[in-house]
Amino acid sequence: MTNFILDPRVVAQVDEHPYPTLFVTISGAHLYGFPSPDSDYDIRGAHVLPLSDAVGLWPEKNETIQVERIRDGLEVDLVTHDLKKFFAMLLKRNGYVMEQVFSPLIVRTSPEHDELKAIARRCLTRHHAHHYFGFFQTQWRLFEKEQPRRVKPLLYVYRVLLTGIHLMRTGEVEANLVTLNEEFQLPFLPDLIARKLAGPERSTLPDADLAFHQRECQRLESLLKAASETSSLPEAPQASRELNELLVRCRLR
């Protein structure tokens, strides 16, 4: 993570954003610790609509900005949401937006981003486990139905499970699979990650490995269930008032 070098083409894309941003970070394979040489950049964040747009007849018109393009040979996928929409997602059991807030791969930040991180920690609940349960099931189906089966979806399966378990146990959002495995010590993960990093994007697994990974994922799913049942995280978000105050302040500045 410390060796991450921000691609200037990513910065150039963010510079073209039509609205001020509270933060912009990188998600996807770069955040998860296993980008292939041909991996695209998933750029995520929150922007601030001007007051006139936010209170007009069509506030939803630009509440989400999405740009997908090839920029000087680099595929970039930028998605940002207006603060009101983004904050509403934070108050739900949405681990994905939490990972965006806490991503250490920062393209744009602000003092309000630091404030948001402190508030977001108090919006984490034990029910965020449901996000990771659902994400795991989706990713496993994608992996299982492919022929031949690829390393990439399988790494997403393990990333989701380990992130969820770690969150339930510690109350901390960690999305990098390499960092997570320092805790979990799954001996087969370094090889899978190395195969993904080497490319090509469609590196495959032999069918004989399916049964092993199925058992291992079922074991980790059970650990996620147990961790959610014993987690010290609260039942409901504790900082909705602070989120509202931050939204109003950013809107009126």
pLDDT digits (tens, 9 = 90+) for 13-65: 999 999 999 999 999 999 999 998 888 999 999 999 999 999 888 888 899 99
The mean pLDDT value for 74-84 works out to 97
Question: What was the pLDDT predicted at 206?
Answer: 85
Question: What was the pLDDT predicted at 25?
Answer: 98
% of the chain residues with pLDDT over 70: 97
pLDDT band, very low/low/confident/very high, at 201 (cuts 50, 70, 90): low
- Phi and psi at 135, nearest 5°, equal -65, -40
Measured in Å, how far apart are the chain's first and last C-alpha atoms? 34
The two counts, helices (H) then strands (E), for the chain are 12, 7
Quote the CA–CA distance of 16 and 104 in Å, as a whole number: 22
User: What are the boundaries of each domain within the chain?
Assistant: 8-123+237-252, 128-230
- Structure tokens belonging to residue 13: 């894309």
- Is the pLDDT at 71 greater than 90, yes or no? yes
Quote the CA–CA distance of 132 and 194 in Å, as a whole number: 24
Query: Which position has the token pair 């983004």?
Result: 86
Whether the predicted model's global pTM rises above the 0.85 cut: yes
Question: What was the pLDDT predicted at 166?
Answer: 98
- Is the pLDDT at 199 greater than 80, yes or no? no
Question: What was the pLDDT predicted at 184?
Answer: 98
Q: Which CATH class is domain 8-123+237-252?
A: alpha beta
For the ranges 60-64, 142-146, 193-197, 228-232, the maximum mean pLDDT occurs at: 228-232
CA-wise closest residue to 15 among 76, 63, 99: 76
Residue 146 to residues 36, 74, 149, 151, 221: CA-CA distances in angstroms? 19, 26, 5, 11, 21
pLDDT tens digit sequence for 93-152? 999 999 999 999 999 999 999 999 999 999 999 999 999 999 999 999 999 998 889 999
DSSP character string of 168-214: HHHS-----HHHHHHHH--TTHHHHHHHHHHS-TT-EE-GGGHHHHH
